[in-house]
C-alpha cells in the first residue's frame, strides 16, 4: 500500500471511518480548520494534507487503540522543531556508525531531531513519527534509540493508520523493506 494520492483520500477516509467504528476505537474530538491553523502558525509549519484531513474528519488522537497504545492528540504530540527540515531520506542506524559519538550526536540534531511529530510512543525508545518537512514530508517513520527508518512500503499517514487498523499489533510496516548494503554504510563512510 503506497502513499496515497489526494484523489484517493475520500475513499480512504470512508474506509478508515468504518474501520474505527467497527473496532470501537474512541477517537478524540475532530479539530476545526482554525484549530489546525493555530497549531501550524505557532510551529511555523504546514501539516501534511492526509493528517490535516484525518484531524478534521476522523478525530484528534484516541485514548486507546491496541495493546494500550494511543494515538497522540495534536496538542499533546511531542514535536521536534517542526519548521526545520527533516534531512534523511533513507534509514540510519547510528548504533553501528563508527564515527566519534560527538559527530554522530551533532548529525542527529541536525538531520533527525527536527521536522517530525510523534504519533504513537510504543515505549522502550520506540515511536512512530510523522515527517512534517523535507523530502519525506507526509511519510511515517519508525524512530528507535538506535536509529530511524521509513515504514516500508513508504507510508503516508492514511496508509500507516489503515495498516494499523487492519492488522493491529501484528502490523509489519517493514515487510517489504529491502536492505541495501550501500545504504547501510552511507554514514560510516563520511
Q: What's the pLDDT score for residue 174?
A: 61
User: For the segment 47-103, what is each residue's pLDDT rounded down to a tens digit?
Assistant: 999 999 999 999 999 876 656 678 899 998 877 788 899 999 988 888 888 889 898
Q: Residue 91 corresponds to which cell in the numbers above? A: 534509514
| Cβ contact 50:4 at 8 Å | yes
**Helix segments in the chain, DSSP class H:** 9-22, 33-43, 49-57, 101-111, 157-167, 181-184
Q: How confident is the model at residue 1 (pLDDT cuts 50, 70, 90)?
A: very low
pLDDT at residue 169 above 80?
no
- What pLDDT, on a 0 to 100 scale, did the predictor assign at position 178? 52
Distance CA 152, CA 150 (A): 6
pLDDT of residue 189: 45
**The three three-digit cell numbers of residue 129, written as one number:** 513519527
Residue 186 has pLDDT above 60, yes or no: no
**pTM attached to this predicted model:** 0.85
Helix axes 9-22, 157-167, angle to 10 degrees: 30
Q: Which three cell numbers stand for residue 11?
A: 475513499
Predicted confidence at residue 77, as pLDDT, reads 81
DSSP classification of residue 56: H
Q: For the chain, what is the mean pLDDT?
A: 84
In angstroms, the CA 24 to CA 22 distance is 5
**Is pLDDT at 131 greater than 60 in this prediction?**
yes
Segment 6-57, tens digit of pLDDT: 899 999 999 999 999 998 888 999 999 999 999 999 999 999 999 999 999 9
For the four alpha carbons of 153, 159, 161 and 162, in that order, the dihedral sign comes to negative
Say how far apart CA 33 and CA 38 lie, in whole Å. Answer: 9
Average pLDDT (118-123) is 86
φ and ψ of 83, to 5 deg: -80, -15
Q: What is the pLDDT of residue 187?
A: 44
Amino acid at each position: 500500500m503506497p502513499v496515497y494520492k489526494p484523489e484517493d483520500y475520500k475513499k480512504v477516509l470512508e474506509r478508515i471511518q468504518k474501520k474505527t467504528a467497527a473496532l470501537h476505537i474512541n477517537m478524540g474530538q475532530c479539530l476545526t480548520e482554525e484549530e489546525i491553523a493555530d497549531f501550524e502558525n505557532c510551529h511555523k509549519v504546514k501539516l501534511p494534507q492526509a493528517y490535516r484531513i484525518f484531524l478534521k474528519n476522523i478525530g484528534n488522537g484516541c485514548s486507546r487503540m491496541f495493546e494500550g497504545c494511543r494515538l497522540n492528540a495534536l496538542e499533546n504530540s511531542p514535536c521536534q522543531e517542526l519548521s526545520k527540515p527533516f534531512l534523511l531520506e533513507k534509514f540510519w542506524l547510528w548504533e553501528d556508525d563508527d564515527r566519534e559519538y560527538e559527530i554522530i550526536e551533532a548529525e542527529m540534531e541536525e538531520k533527525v531531531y527536527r521536522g517530525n511529530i510523534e504519533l504513537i510512543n510504543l515505549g522502550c525508545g520506540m515511536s512512530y513519527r510523522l515527517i512534517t518537512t523535507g523530502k519525506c514530508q507526509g511519510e511515517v517513520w519508525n524512530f528507535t534509540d538506535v536509529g530511524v527508518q521509513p515504514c516500508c512500503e513508504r507510508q503516508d499517514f492514511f496508509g500507516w493508520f489503515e495498516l494499523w487498523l487492519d492488522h493491529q499489533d501484528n502490523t509489519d510496516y517493514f515487510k517489504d523493506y529491502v536492505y541495501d548494503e550501500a545504504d547501510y554504510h552511507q554514514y560510516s563512510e563520511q
